[in-house]
């Protein structure tokens, strides 16, 4: 068994961004589906107001997170790779239920396994842009004529709802992946404290 050590994996902003984003996504999901008419909780008017505020907060958070990722070089964590992708996929679908060890060893410079990279990149390049764009178009619908836009609002609403369902799928997959560490709560604890037990390497930086 390889010797392991506690290493600072997740920076303070990274953890703040993660939990703030999770909280805002949950609020947006709850209020969004109420606005859609799925159920009644806050009331349509209150749900709409909360949804708008949470959406704007998420956009602002995304702008700060993009700045952080590019200035720190952390954007490289999401570069997709097919190396060992089939091995990791097999673990999530079969190996984990047989008690097999996780085939991916997390390090300071490589936090995400191949499947996570594709999943999170899909969120950043597909799901979030669709939701943000359609949400803003919906929010500023009255300004369309001023900027030369036209078309049925129902199409925008349909795309926004489709993005919301994709986000629900992503959320479920993300929660599932969270439970697949050394223990079911190891990844969750790491995202709270910033520290995680990883194989000993030359990269022992803290920050």
- 77: domain CATH number? 1.20.950.20
Question: What secondary structure does DSSP assign to 121-175, as a single string?
Answer: HHIIIIIHHHHHHHHHHHHTGGGGGGGT--S-HHHHHHHHHHHHHHHHHHHHHHH
Joined together, the tokens standing for residue 6 give 């506690």
Residue 206 lies in a domain: no
Half-sphere exposure in the Cβ direction for 137 (13 Å, CA): 19
- 47, part of any domain: yes
Q: What values do phi and psi take at 7, rounded to 5?
A: -130, 145
Indicate if the pLDDT at residue 116 is higher than 80.
Answer: yes
Q: Which domain, by its residues, includes 90?
A: 4-198
Spatial CA neighbour of 76 closest among 43, 111, 102 = 111
Note whether residue 207 is domain-resident: no
Between 52 and 150, name the one with better pLDDT. 52
* pTM greater than the 0.75 cutoff: yes
Please choose, from the candidates 73, 166, 187, the residue with its C-alpha nearest in 3D space to the C-alpha of residue 124: 166
Q: What is the pLDDT of residues 151-197, one digit of tens each?
A: 888 889 899 999 999 998 988 888 887 887 777 888 889 899 998 87
Number of folded domains that form the chain: 1
156 belongs to a structural domain: yes
In the DSSP assignment, the letter for residue 105 is: -
In a domain, 205, yes or no: no
How far is 4 from 15, CA to CA, in rounded Å?
22
Asked if residue 27 has pLDDT above 90, the reply is yes
> What average pLDDT does range 47-75 have in this prediction?
93
The encoded tokens of residue 153 equal 């609002």
**Is pLDDT at 205 greater than 50 in this prediction?**
no
> Is there a domain that residue 106 lies in?
yes
Does any domain span residue 145?
Answer: yes
> Is 188 a domain residue?
yes
The whole-angstrom separation of Cα 148 and Cα 71 is: 35
φ, ψ dihedrals at 201, nearest 5°:
-135, 180
Report the distance separating Cα 4 and Cα 189, nearest Å.
17
């Amino acid at each position: 068994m390889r010797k392991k050590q506690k290493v600072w994996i997740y920076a303070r902003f990274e953890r703040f961004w993660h939990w703030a984003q999770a909280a805002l996504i949950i609020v947006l999901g709850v209020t969004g589906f109420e606005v859609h008419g799925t159920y009644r909780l806050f009331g349509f008017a209150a749900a709409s107001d909360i949804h708008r505020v949470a959406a704007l907060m998420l956009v602002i958070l995304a702008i700060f997170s993009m700045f952080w990722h590019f200035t720190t070089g952390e954007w490289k964590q999401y570069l997709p790779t097919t190396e060992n992708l089939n091995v990791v996929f097999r673990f999530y679908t079969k190996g984990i239920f047989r008690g097999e060890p996780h085939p991916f060893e997390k390090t300071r410079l490589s936090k995400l396994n191949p499947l996570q990279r594709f999943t999170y990149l899909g969120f950043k390049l597909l799901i979030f842009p669709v939701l943000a764009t359609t949400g803003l178009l919906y929010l500023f619908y009255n300004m369309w004529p001023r900027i030369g836009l036209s078309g049925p609002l129902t199409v925008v609403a349909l795309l926004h709802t489709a993005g919301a369902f994709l986000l629900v799928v992503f959320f479920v997959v993300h929660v599932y992946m969270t439970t697949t560490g050394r223990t079911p709560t190891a990844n969750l604890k790491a995202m709270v404290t910033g520290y995680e037990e990883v194989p000993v390497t030359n990269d022992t930086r803290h920050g």
